[in-house]
Structure 1
């Protein structure tokens, strides 16, 4: 199965596997969605699908929430967190704070930040052994690198504009400097994070 056009009703199974070397085991780690109401979204994924919240962080202008399905041997959320880079199927929910919710007063910079709020699909995240090596590989194949490790610009997340950079919490900056982003052929942001992220 390649890129052939399927006729209506066609069903095909691929004829070969792409098998990575042992040194380059990459995993689809998470999908990120932008949400409007954290309480409602967390209840939906917990109560309907049985996901467990592993951690959350207030990054300043937005908060992130990670959810996962517990695996055999998991007893508390920190058990999931310890192996999050080795898991697939995590869900990241991102809520951009309303300015009035934060401080009651709205500056023009904050107004522009809150107007950037969008909901829906954000990005896919892949855990990889070497973030820079994978980004170089993507770049040499002709794909755009949206963000290299060390860069803290938010353009790759499509959450807030440049005027909101100063609002990022230092702890989030520390995590965000470890990841990179590529643009896929359809224009989606693809996050590349280390298998063992330093918290």
Structure 2
């Protein structure tokens, strides 16, 4: 066996090891564009300076077979990039069950807030928790009936600290006055013009009507605590 053949076998063995050790989240991309002879030659010439794009270093088996036939220097480059792949990125399987369960707003008067979110926006109270000097209200749309609160997505939690409703000088910061922070919630509707017409009839306060400003396909309404709620059309999200 020629000496060079032994080197190529060692190169192939190294590449197989790389295939076994490549992290799962990189396995869906393809190395096919590196498998052709011209590009392999180009990649080999770059091996010493390790300039192969990191995005090309994945575990597509068919392309890796071609790489295993390439000079040892190329596999050396692949090994270098294998060691540089970030280890902090969690495999997708570890986050597959994660979901955005809820956001929380503090409200001054729960009667006014529940009236708004139930009767104006059509949400339902799906759970309630009394904590002594505070009460939590959990609201959601009933598109997920029969699902537990922990399994749901996009729940709105309203927190009422008892007594705030009796203090005329009390108000929560809505995040859009200085210093700015929280921005807004967003609700999508099938017919945005009909929704805004209905809000007008109900006496809802607007931060921005459809006809205001340059963006004529969105609106902003205000809840009783002056939190902004963006209204968008289901088929034309921004």
Normalising by structure 1, what TM-score? 0.36
Kindly name which structure, 1 or 2, has the bigger radius of gyration based on alpha carbons: 2
Query: Highest relative contact order (Cα 8 Å, sep 6+), 1 or 2?
Result: 1
Normalising by structure 2, what TM-score? 0.30
More helix by share: 2
